[in-house]
Amino acid sequence: MKLVVDANIPAADACFGAFGEVIKRPGREISAEHLRDVDALIIRSVTPVNASLLAESSVRFVGTCTIGTDHVDSAYLAQQGIRFANAPGCNAEAVVDYVLASLLTLAERQGWRLLDRCVGIVGVGNVGSRLQARLQALGVKVLACDPPRAEREGVSEGETGFASLETLIEHCDVLCLHTPLVSAGPHATRHLLNAERINELSPGTVVVNAGRGDCIDGLALRSRLAGQNDLTAVLDVWENEPAIDTALHDLATLATPHIAGYSLDGKLRGSLMIHQALASHVGEASALTLDGICPPPALASFTLQQALPCEDALRLCARAVYDVRRDHESLTREAHALGLAQGFDTCRANYPRRREFSTLTVCLGDEAQPLAPVLSAAGFNVVLA
């Protein structure tokens, strides 16, 4: 078997080498000519998979080591009898870490407390449900909007915690988007946050998009930010990546290059899930485990001896694992050096190793032990010294 694998997929040899010859190529450079005599294609989110890529190929299996699938023409694959697999939930914890790190950073900069905010979550799937659980465990008020899920579960607005998007816009201090990209139909999400809804946002609202760039009308958001300068935008995903809107990038308070889910742990989960799907496709058993391919964290534990204000403790622990400011500054620096599009891809291709909150064990001395509930709620492992 011959496999073409995106060069940015970690543990590619461990996960796919046993199946045959592994050829690694940058995801944006994979073309039809590379796939003529290839049996399997393993990608991430930057490779569009469609008839023009595969029509002359021998590919019988396509796997994307990501949650999202809007870069893959799954209908075409089904029509051609090509097996397709994605990795739902693989990096959901990393995206939640990103959102919490961003909100804690904004709270410090702008002088408010996350624990006093009302957060609206649009899309309560793998990521949104985990974010909701962590925020609620912290004691943050959460409103959730997910019409397709409410419809599937047979509930109406106001039942089991679901609310309309208009309710979230009216009542929430923070609006987090975690929907898939759906271009048409009753629950379309393209430009879900359109000009009308953006103009309805109360001054001071924080908008976080770590889902799909096209779910926000970027021109409308840019217009509101440039004209009134009364919203805070945290943008990890963008329309037209990597050729993103320079003016919108400059207006965002935190601007990062589609890396919210880029933890090593999340990437390795994705690699492992596609490994398992390919093993099933070829009828082979797999004994590979996440522990078998995941290295120990650089910082496994530290001790807090003294009590701190809750959000100071959360920021301290979060930044010990992941500091979102690094990614914001990295994109700004590379954009200045290379231009925004090339800088965007350079940041992604050279992304430093990042771990998840759950990999850090926080030991609490006697005086710091009251912090145990809030640190556990945020996703850290807590032990009492």
- The answer to whether 205 is annotated as binding is no
- Residue 253 is predicted with a pLDDT of 98
pLDDT digit string, tens, across residues 94-130:
999 999 999 999 999 999 999 999 999 999 999 999 9
- Neighbouring CB atoms inside 10 A of 366's CB total 11
pLDDT band at 159 (very low <50, low <70, confident <90, very high): low
Looking at the predicted structure, is the pLDDT value of residue 192 above 80? Answer: yes
241 is catalytic: yes
* 333 domain-assigned: yes
Does 141 fall in a domain?
A: yes
List 44, 191, 212, 269, catalytic entry: 212
289 a known binding residue?
no
Whether residue 260 lies inside any domain: the answer is no
Q: Are 209 and 217 in contact (CB under 8 A)?
A: no
Q: Which of 255, 280, 310 is the last residue of a domain?
A: 255
3-state secondary structure 188-238: CCCCCECHHHHHHCCCCCEEEECCCHHHECHHHHHHHHHHCCCCEEEECCC
**What's 62's domain CATH number?**
3.40.50.720
**Mean pLDDT for the chain?**
96
Q: What is the tally of structural domains in the chain? A: 3
Same domain, 238 and 308: no
Cβ atoms within 10 Å, residue 1: 15
Judge if 51 and 183 occupy the same domain.
Answer: no
153 — pLDDT class (breaks 50, 70, 90):
confident
Answer yes or no: is 146 a known binding residue.
yes
- Measured distance CA(189)–CA(194) in Å, rounded: 10
Contact 206, 96 (CB under 8 A): no
Assigned domain for 271 exists: no
pLDDT band at 154 (very low <50, low <70, confident <90, very high): confident
Residue 56 has a pLDDT of 93
| Whether 178 is catalytic | no
Same domain, 154 and 121: yes
pLDDT for position 160: 62
147 or 157: which carries more pLDDT confidence?
147
Among residues 108, 170, 241, 319, which one is catalytic?
A: 241
Kindly state whether residues 120 and 234 are assigned to the same domain: yes
- 161 pLDDT exceeds 80? no
Looking at the fold, whether 98 and 177 belong to one and the same domain comes out as yes
Write down the pTM of the prediction.
Answer: 0.92
On whether 45 is known to bind a ligand per the annotation, the reply is yes
Res. 155 pLDDT band, cuts 50 70 90: confident
Known catalytic residue: 212? yes
Q: Quick one: pLDDT at residue 68?
A: 85
Asked whether residue 263 is assigned to any structural domain, the reply reads: no
Q: Are 24 and 82 contained in the same domain?
A: yes
Which of 86, 107, 142 corresponds to the end of one domain? 86
Domain check: are 159 and 45 in the same one?
no
* Cα 220 to Cα 216: distance, rounded to the nearest angstrom: 8
The dihedral over CA atoms of 266, 270, 271, 276, expressed in degrees to the nearest 10, equals: 140
pLDDT in tens, 35-83: 999 999 999 989 999 999 999 999 999 999 998 898 999 999 999 999 9
- Please name every residue paired with 24 in a beta bridge, in sequence order, or none if there are none: 5
Residues present in the chain in total: 385
Are residues 163 and 202 both part of a single domain?
A: yes
pLDDT band at 158 (very low <50, low <70, confident <90, very high): low
| pLDDT interval class at 185 (50, 70, 90) | very high
On whether both 8 and 124 belong to a single domain, the answer is no
Give the 3-state secondary structure of residue 379: coil
Q: Which residues pair with 208 in a beta bridge?
A: 176, 234
Question: Pick from 48, 64, 86: which residue ends a domain?
Answer: 86
Q: Do residues 76 and 50 lie in contact, with contact meaning Cβ atoms separated by under 8 Å?
A: yes
8 Å CB contact between 203 and 228: yes
Q: Which residue range is the domain that position 43 belongs to? A: 2-86
Report whether 262 belongs to an annotated binding site.
yes
Q: Is residue 283 part of a domain?
A: no
pLDDT tens-digit map of 253-277: 999 999 999 999 999 999 999 999 9
Domain membership flag for residue 339: yes
Residue 16 lies in a domain: yes
Q: Which residues contact 373 (CB under 8 A, 6 or more apart)?
A: none
192's CB contacts (< 8 A; 6+ apart) are: 122, 165, 177, 179, 215, 216
